[in-house]
A and B are shown apart, each in its own frame.
Chain A
Amino acid sequence: MPPRASKRKSVPPNSSSVTSSDGRSVSNKAKTKGMEKVDRLFNTYANSSLGMIDPEGIEALCADLGVDYTDVRILMLAWKLKSEKQGYFTREEWQTGLKELGVDSLSKLKKALPELEKEVEKPSNYEGFYIYAFRYCLTEEKQKSVDIESICELLNLVLGVQFRPQVDSLVEYLKVQNDYKVINADQWINFLRFCKEISFPDLGNYDANQAWPLILDNFVEWMREKQS
């Protein structure tokens, strides 16, 4: 940046604030004020002894937002908040997340949900969200895989809108097969790849000689048998 000619006190280039008489920048003031509102909102739902929002709190939040507890938008919110533990929001997560969303009240949060949906569906974010959804289910320490039931629900939730026919067939298969009782992260990520790359329902371009997980090889075999 070329140096300014003026002799005024130099201002950091990207700030839009102006120094006021008492020396503190206005944006700081605004920040603190906004934080207060967000914090208050947090406290409404938080479990005071834990210091964070627990499942009950989330349920209440959902009720107030007019969204079902199992709705995918709550999962998206968790993703936006970068929530680590399923069913809990920490104060930090809440603060950072709501700030990212640019909301500080319940009504604003409600209005922000459709935009959040669009944001998640952007190709650059979608895969990250998809992977997040799986990790969010790893509730136990050192847990690496998720049981079939939960996976089926998750598939419905996360991929159901975009890939309805694939999800229906896949869920049906997962329920009848016996080889796998749990699904790991590698298999999970490949479900998405499968939906994106493989033409359905003809499965014409699926090649079992490639490194697809065995469960998908078996799924394709099962589908082909059904179709013949």
Chain B
Amino acid sequence: MESKTIDFERGWDHVYKGIKQLRRILEGLPEPLFTSGEYVMLYSTVYNMCARNPPHNYSQQLYDKYREVLEEYITSTLSPSLRGKRDEFLLRELVKIWVNHKVMVRWLSRFFNYLDRYFVDYRSLPALNEVGMTCFTDLVYREVQTNIKDAAIVLIGKEREGDRIDCSLLKNVLDIFVAVGMGSMERYEDDFEADMLRDTGAYYSRKASSWIEEDSCPEYMLKCEECLKKERDRVFHYLRSSSEVKLIEKVQHELLVTYIDRLLEKEHSGCRALLRDDKADDLSRMYRLYCKIPRGLDPVADIFKQHVTAEGTALVQAIGAASNAPGVQEHVLLRKIIELHCKYMAYVTDCFQNHNLFCNALKDAFKVFCNNTGTDSSSAELLATFCDDILKKGGSEKLSDEAIEETLENAVKLLAYINDRDLFAEFYRKKLARRLLFDRSANDDHERSVLSKLKQQCGEQFTSKMEGMVTDITLSRENHAAFEDYLRSNSAAHPGIDLTVTILTTGFWPSYKPCNLNLPTEMIKCVEVFKGFYETKTKHKKLTWIYSLGTCNLSGMFDQKTIELVVSTHQAAVLMLFNTSDRLSYSEIMDQLNSTHEDLVRLLHSLSCAKYKILSKQPDTKTISRSDYFEFNSKFTNKLRRIKIPLPPVDEKKKIVEDVDKDRRYAIDAAIVRVMKTRKVLGYQQLVSECVEQLSQTFKPDIKAIKKQIEDLITREFLERDEENPNTFKYLA
């Protein structure tokens, strides 16, 4: 490399020759390509003209020449070829000259490279390729930008209508828009994308307005899905990925948002109709289309909720109106509700992807009609009866274990929709007690499984008492074994009758009326013997005997044959009176037994006026009166050797409801105190809503009941009303 100063004219002459050669190559003339030697020469010439001290430093002149050359090239060669061309031809030509320009810039930049290294930075001037870009922009782009934008949009429009277009051409054109931005997307966005989006919007607006008239909802949705797919393909093939979000939003807006009401509310094919006709696919599509749109799913979830509510309410009313026997009716109702629940749960899971909005819609819908059975019994009671029917012997023997489990699982799920959960617990507990004590439970595993499902759903506190009851039964069995050992080792203490005692922990079990029945001596001996045994085990506990829950097996020595009678302890006590007297009046029995009139009437009725007449009554009427006389009916017989004489249970419904109401008052009281203890000062409405929140797991409290408890707490001086603001309460420590 020669390292001497060059005269500008000479140097430039050399470089310009190279440039001319380059132009000829670009024109496609038969011109040999540059050898590396030639290239090095050109580079060096530039170097020598620049890497000098002034006045031999021609950097500025060369920099200016660079621009000149380019400008001249563009104006003389490139631009003219564009003039007069339109549409796709224009686009093609543009791409061609763009390619040429790029080559020119690249080679020129190589020749003049030395400028890029020092001069450009030193003077804070644009780099060579930037200059190249600017020239193109000013001399070519500005002139044609509107036309190429329009041409490109026209092409896109054609493609939308189904024509095949040259995607790579479009892609190249759009590359130019981006390149012209020189690092920013501004040119692409302002000069092309904005209008493209507007055009897209207009296009789909037109389409939508005609489709919405002609098409059914599913058809329309299919078209939407397709359009969206095609637009995404468009982005993939030639649009910039940065356009995707805006493009999709635009399309969604025109197709789905603008017409959402008309679409969903289409009479024969809209959302309601799809739900009615179980069109799962279409509903899934609806979900897919609207889930990306903010608040798009709200109206869909709303219609879903309304639909489920309507179905449920109609179901409840229909079954209420049907004149089946009560009991059957209610069983059917629950079964149908469970079916409905499974059906729409499937929708939520499959079509609506378990989305929160739909889970809540389902929940709200069920809450509306599950609490309104239209019968005398509350839904809490119905559900408890339903479970009892499945769990007791003879209830569901025809069903497989799995079917039973599934039904129980569904039943427990329904509990979430019932407001009076505490009422359900009470009814369930009462029925569980009967099943456990009268050995009517069909299957221990199922019992335990229900309790664990209830625990999962409603919390530990909900089932703690019931679990205690089941444990008591197990413990009692162990206890009984110990009792038998005791009797074996103390044969003198044996009462002469087989005795089984079940010990219940108070608090776990429902409360039972204590009774002061006079037992026959044989039974008294049994009680004494057991007491003796129990005292050897523990001195700290007190036994209270509940004879109303016991059963007794008696041998009835009738004339024809001896029949074993399975009766309740109370019934047995009545019958045993006739071992010592032939004939007894009502009042005599009353005196000897020390029962209540209510109980005695029931007992005597079951023994003398029901299916099995163990006692004969004078007069032989259908009801018990206080002037009746009773005798042992020795003539009684039956083909069976063992019969059970049922004693219809007292209707405990009223008492259960009363007990639950009382518990609720305590619960509300405790909740208010808890809230106020933490907050110290709180407004009335907030206090109410926090209490409701706290109690929501167990039941839905009546606002009036909360108000009443607040007043009670004011009287008891736990709270006071704020003097300044009568709607605010203060906690008195």
Q: Which residues on A are within 8 Å of B, measured CB to CB?
A: 144-145, 184, 186-187, 189-190, 193, 209-211, 213-214, 217
Query: Across the interface, do B715 and A217 meet the contact criterion of CB distance under 8 Å?
Result: no
By a CB distance below 8 angstroms, the chain A residues around B656 are none
Question: A211-B684, A211-B721 are known contacts. Are A217 and B714 too (CB-CB below 8 A)?
Answer: no
By a CB distance below 8 angstroms, the chain B residues around A144 are 715
Partner of A193, one of B685, B710, B726, B729: B726
Question: A193-B726, A210-B727, A214-B704 are known contacts. Are A186 and B684 too (CB-CB below 8 A)?
Answer: no
Partner of B711, one of A186, A189, A209, A210: A186
Q: How many A-B residue pairs have CB under 8 A?
A: 34
Minimal Cβ-Cβ distance residue in A for B683 = A211
Given contacts A186-B721, A189-B721, A214-B711, 8 further A-B contacts (CB under 8 A): A144-B715, A184-B711, A211-B684, A211-B721, A211-B727, A211-B728, A211-B729, A214-B708
B661 CB, nearest partner CB in chain A, Å: 15
By a CB distance below 8 angstroms, the chain A residues around B726 are 190, 193, 211
By a CB distance below 8 angstroms, the chain B residues around A184 are 711, 714-715
Distance, CA A214 to CA B705, complexed state (A): 9
By a CB distance below 8 angstroms, the chain B residues around A217 are 704, 707
Distance, CA A213 to CA B729, complexed state (A): 13
By a CB distance below 8 angstroms, the chain B residues around A209 are 685
By a CB distance below 8 angstroms, the chain A residues around B711 are 184, 186-187, 213-214
Partner of B715, one of A145, A189, A190, A214: A145
Distance, CA A49 to CA B363, complexed state (A): 76
By a CB distance below 8 angstroms, the chain B residues around A214 are 704, 707-708, 711
By a CB distance below 8 angstroms, the chain B residues around A145 are 715
B725 CB, nearest partner CB in chain A, Å: 9
Distance, CA A187 to CA B684, complexed state (A): 16
What number of B residues sit within 8 Å (CB to CB) of A? Answer: 15
Interface of B is mostly: helix
Minimal Cβ-Cβ distance residue in A for B722 = A211
A136 CB, nearest partner CB in chain B, Å: 19
- A-B CB contact pairs (8 Å), 30 listed: A144-B715, A145-B715, A184-B711, A184-B714, A184-B715, A186-B711, A186-B715, A186-B720, A187-B711, A189-B721, A190-B726, A193-B726, A209-B685, A210-B684, A210-B685, A210-B727, A211-B710, A211-B721, A211-B726, A211-B727, A211-B728, A211-B729, A213-B707, A213-B711, A214-B704, A214-B707, A214-B708, A214-B711, A217-B704, A217-B707
A63 CB, nearest partner CB in chain B, Å: 39
Minimal Cβ-Cβ distance residue in B for A190 = B726
By a CB distance below 8 angstroms, the chain B residues around A193 are 726
Distance, CA A59 to CA B727, complexed state (A): 42
Distance, CA A211 to CA B715, complexed state (A): 15
B651 CB, nearest partner CB in chain A, Å: 26
B176 CB, nearest partner CB in chain A, Å: 67
B705 CB, nearest partner CB in chain A, Å: 9
B573 CB, nearest partner CB in chain A, Å: 42
By a CB distance below 8 angstroms, the chain A residues around B707 are 211, 213-214, 217
By a CB distance below 8 angstroms, the chain A residues around B704 are 214, 217
A66 CB, nearest partner CB in chain B, Å: 38
Distance, CA A145 to CA B716, complexed state (A): 11
Distance, CA A210 to CA B710, complexed state (A): 13
Minimal Cβ-Cβ distance residue in B for A145 = B715
The 5 closest A-B pairs by CB, nearest first: A211-B684, A211-B727, A214-B707, A186-B714, A184-B715
By a CB distance below 8 angstroms, the chain A residues around B685 are 209-210
Most buried by B among A184, A186, A189, A193: A186
Distance, CA A210 to CA B714, complexed state (A): 16
A162 CB, nearest partner CB in chain B, Å: 19
Contact with A along B698-714 (1 / 0, CB 8 A): 00000010011011001
By a CB distance below 8 angstroms, the chain A residues around B728 are 211
Minimal Cβ-Cβ distance residue in B for A209 = B685
Contact with A along B669-708 (1 / 0, CB 8 A): 0000000000000001100000000000000000010011
Distance, CA A193 to CA B725, complexed state (A): 11
Distance, CA A211 to CA B684, complexed state (A): 6
A166 CB, nearest partner CB in chain B, Å: 17
Distance, CA A211 to CA B672, complexed state (A): 14
Distance, CA A184 to CA B715, complexed state (A): 7
By a CB distance below 8 angstroms, the chain B residues around A186 are 711, 714-715, 720-721
Minimal Cβ-Cβ distance residue in A for B723 = A189
Distance, CA A210 to CA B685, complexed state (A): 7
Distance, CA A214 to CA B704, complexed state (A): 7
Minimal Cβ-Cβ distance residue in A for B728 = A211
Distance, CA A145 to CA B729, complexed state (A): 20
B721 CB, nearest partner CB in chain A, Å: 6
